[in-house]
Amino acid sequence: MTYSKHPVALSILLVAMLTLSITASSETLAISDSIPFAEDADVPAAVRNECNLNTKLAKFIRTYAAKHFDKVVSISDADKNSKKLTISITDVHGQGGGAWSGSKSVKIEGTLTQNGKVLGTFRALRASGGGAFGGYKGTCSILGRCVKTLGKDVAAWAANPSMDSRLGDL
Protein backbone atom coordinates (compact mmCIF):
# COMPACT_ATOMS: atom_id res chain seq x y z
CA MET A 1 0.00 0.00 0.00
CA THR A 2 1.39 3.41 -0.88
CA TYR A 3 0.45 6.16 1.52
CA SER A 4 0.25 8.79 -1.22
CA LYS A 5 -2.79 7.00 -2.62
CA HIS A 6 -4.37 6.76 0.87
CA PRO A 7 -4.30 10.20 2.51
CA VAL A 8 -6.27 9.02 5.56
CA ALA A 9 -3.74 6.26 6.26
CA LEU A 10 -0.92 8.77 5.83
CA SER A 11 -2.60 11.15 8.28
CA ILE A 12 -3.05 8.38 10.86
CA LEU A 13 0.59 7.34 10.48
CA LEU A 14 1.84 10.91 10.92
CA VAL A 15 -0.34 11.48 14.02
CA ALA A 16 0.90 8.19 15.52
CA MET A 17 4.53 9.13 14.90
CA LEU A 18 4.03 12.61 16.38
CA THR A 19 2.30 11.14 19.44
CA LEU A 20 5.13 8.69 20.00
CA SER A 21 7.76 11.40 19.74
CA ILE A 22 5.88 13.58 22.22
CA THR A 23 5.15 10.83 24.75
CA ALA A 24 8.52 9.09 24.50
CA SER A 25 10.70 10.43 27.27
CA SER A 26 14.43 10.33 27.18
CA GLU A 27 16.15 8.95 30.24
CA THR A 28 18.77 11.19 31.79
CA LEU A 29 21.29 10.23 34.45
CA ALA A 30 22.84 13.01 36.51
CA ILE A 31 26.08 12.53 38.42
CA SER A 32 28.60 14.81 40.12
CA ASP A 33 31.74 15.80 38.27
CA SER A 34 33.78 14.63 41.25
CA ILE A 35 32.86 11.84 43.67
CA PRO A 36 33.57 12.91 47.26
CA PHE A 37 35.34 10.87 49.90
CA ALA A 38 33.03 10.06 52.82
CA GLU A 39 33.88 12.01 55.96
CA ASP A 40 35.02 8.86 57.74
CA ALA A 41 36.73 7.32 54.68
CA ASP A 42 40.01 5.59 55.42
CA VAL A 43 42.20 6.81 52.56
CA PRO A 44 45.99 7.21 52.59
CA ALA A 45 46.89 10.90 52.25
CA ALA A 46 49.11 10.29 49.20
CA VAL A 47 46.29 8.46 47.42
CA ARG A 48 43.81 11.21 48.29
CA ASN A 49 46.15 13.91 46.99
CA GLU A 50 47.76 12.24 43.96
CA CYS A 51 45.50 9.58 42.39
CA ASN A 52 42.49 11.72 41.32
CA LEU A 53 40.11 8.87 42.14
CA ASN A 54 37.25 11.38 42.60
CA THR A 55 37.25 12.59 39.02
CA LYS A 56 38.33 9.28 37.47
CA LEU A 57 35.40 7.42 39.03
CA ALA A 58 32.91 10.06 37.86
CA LYS A 59 34.40 9.95 34.35
CA PHE A 60 34.22 6.17 34.10
CA ILE A 61 30.63 6.07 35.34
CA ARG A 62 29.66 8.72 32.76
CA THR A 63 31.42 6.84 29.96
CA TYR A 64 29.76 3.50 30.70
CA ALA A 65 26.36 5.02 31.59
CA ALA A 66 26.17 6.55 28.10
CA LYS A 67 25.48 3.00 26.86
CA HIS A 68 22.40 2.74 29.10
CA PHE A 69 20.97 6.28 29.17
CA ASP A 70 19.97 8.79 26.50
CA LYS A 71 21.87 11.55 28.31
CA VAL A 72 24.41 11.69 31.12
CA VAL A 73 24.76 15.14 32.67
CA SER A 74 26.26 16.91 35.63
CA ILE A 75 24.05 17.21 38.73
CA SER A 76 23.93 20.97 38.15
CA ASP A 77 22.42 20.37 34.67
CA ALA A 78 19.80 17.86 35.83
CA ASP A 79 16.13 18.53 35.23
CA LYS A 80 13.31 17.45 37.55
CA ASN A 81 12.87 14.09 35.79
CA SER A 82 16.54 13.14 35.76
CA LYS A 83 17.70 10.12 37.69
CA LYS A 84 20.28 11.42 40.18
CA LEU A 85 23.17 9.26 41.27
CA THR A 86 24.81 10.21 44.56
CA ILE A 87 28.01 8.34 45.41
CA SER A 88 30.78 8.54 47.97
CA ILE A 89 34.12 6.78 48.24
CA THR A 90 34.06 5.08 51.64
CA ASP A 91 37.39 3.25 51.77
CA VAL A 92 40.59 2.92 49.78
CA HIS A 93 43.19 0.30 50.57
CA GLY A 94 46.28 1.34 48.66
CA GLN A 95 49.65 1.73 50.29
CA GLY A 96 52.51 3.04 48.20
CA GLY A 97 54.79 0.61 46.44
CA GLY A 98 52.54 -0.53 43.61
CA ALA A 99 51.80 -4.23 43.37
CA TRP A 100 54.77 -5.01 45.62
CA SER A 101 52.92 -3.63 48.66
CA GLY A 102 49.88 -5.87 48.14
CA SER A 103 46.44 -5.74 46.63
CA LYS A 104 44.65 -2.40 46.27
CA SER A 105 40.92 -1.78 46.60
CA VAL A 106 38.27 0.93 46.41
CA LYS A 107 34.92 0.77 48.19
CA ILE A 108 31.99 3.04 47.34
CA GLU A 109 28.31 3.41 48.14
CA GLY A 110 25.53 5.21 46.39
CA THR A 111 21.87 6.02 45.93
CA LEU A 112 19.80 6.56 42.78
CA THR A 113 16.81 8.88 43.09
CA GLN A 114 14.21 10.37 40.77
CA ASN A 115 11.79 13.12 41.78
CA GLY A 116 12.84 12.61 45.42
CA LYS A 117 12.03 8.88 45.39
CA VAL A 118 14.81 6.38 46.11
CA LEU A 119 15.05 3.92 43.21
CA GLY A 120 17.94 1.92 44.60
CA THR A 121 21.01 1.80 46.82
CA PHE A 122 24.28 -0.05 46.52
CA ARG A 123 27.64 -0.78 48.05
CA ALA A 124 30.50 -1.84 45.81
CA LEU A 125 34.10 -2.93 46.12
CA ARG A 126 36.74 -3.68 43.52
CA ALA A 127 40.21 -4.99 44.26
CA SER A 128 43.20 -5.48 41.99
CA GLY A 129 46.76 -6.66 42.21
CA GLY A 130 47.60 -4.80 39.02
CA GLY A 131 46.91 -7.49 36.44
CA ALA A 132 49.54 -8.41 33.88
CA PHE A 133 52.82 -6.68 34.65
CA GLY A 134 51.32 -5.47 37.95
CA GLY A 135 54.78 -5.32 39.45
CA TYR A 136 55.58 -2.46 37.09
CA LYS A 137 52.48 -0.42 37.91
CA GLY A 138 52.19 2.20 40.59
CA THR A 139 49.55 2.43 43.29
CA CYS A 140 47.51 5.09 41.46
CA SER A 141 47.50 3.02 38.28
CA ILE A 142 46.24 -0.06 40.12
CA LEU A 143 43.57 1.96 41.94
CA GLY A 144 42.63 3.43 38.55
CA ARG A 145 41.85 -0.13 37.38
CA CYS A 146 39.57 -0.50 40.39
CA VAL A 147 37.60 2.69 39.72
CA LYS A 148 37.31 1.87 36.01
CA THR A 149 35.68 -1.46 36.84
CA LEU A 150 33.50 0.21 39.48
CA GLY A 151 32.39 2.64 36.76
CA LYS A 152 31.15 -0.30 34.67
CA ASP A 153 29.47 -1.89 37.69
CA VAL A 154 27.64 1.28 38.73
CA ALA A 155 26.53 2.21 35.20
CA ALA A 156 24.99 -1.23 34.64
CA TRP A 157 23.32 -1.14 38.07
CA ALA A 158 21.88 2.36 37.47
CA ALA A 159 20.13 1.07 34.34
CA ASN A 160 18.36 -1.56 36.47
CA PRO A 161 18.64 -0.49 40.13
CA SER A 162 17.51 -2.35 43.22
CA MET A 163 17.69 -1.71 46.95
CA ASP A 164 20.70 -2.79 49.03
CA SER A 165 22.65 -4.11 46.03
CA ARG A 166 26.17 -5.43 46.41
CA LEU A 167 28.36 -4.86 43.38
CA GLY A 168 31.77 -6.03 42.32
CA ASP A 169 33.83 -8.02 44.80
CA LEU A 170 31.40 -7.70 47.73
Per-domain residue ranges of the chain: 26-168
Sign of CA dihedral 144, 148, 149, 153: positive
For residue 55, what pLDDT is reported? 97
Structurally, at CATH architecture level, domain 26-168 sits in 2-Layer Sandwich (3.30)
Rounded to two decimals, what is the model's pTM? Answer: 0.80
How far lies 43's CA from each of 85, 101, 146, 151, 153, in Å? 22, 15, 14, 19, 21
For residue 170, what pLDDT is reported? 85
Looking at 53-138, list the stretches that DSSP marks H as alpha helix, in order from N- to C-terminal side.
Answer: 53-65
Confidence check: pLDDT of 14 > 50: no
List pLDDT tens digits, range 22-72: 333 489 999 999 999 999 998 999 999 999 999 999 999 999 999 999 999
Contacts of 110 by beta carbon, 8 Å cutoff, 6+ apart: 85, 86, 87, 88, 121, 122, 124, 154
What's the length of the chain?
A: 170
* Residue 164 falls in which region: left (phi positive, over 0), alpha (psi -120 to 50) or beta: left
- With cut-offs at 50, 70 and 90, classify the pLDDT of residue 101: low
Q: What is the mean pLDDT of residues 77-81?
A: 93
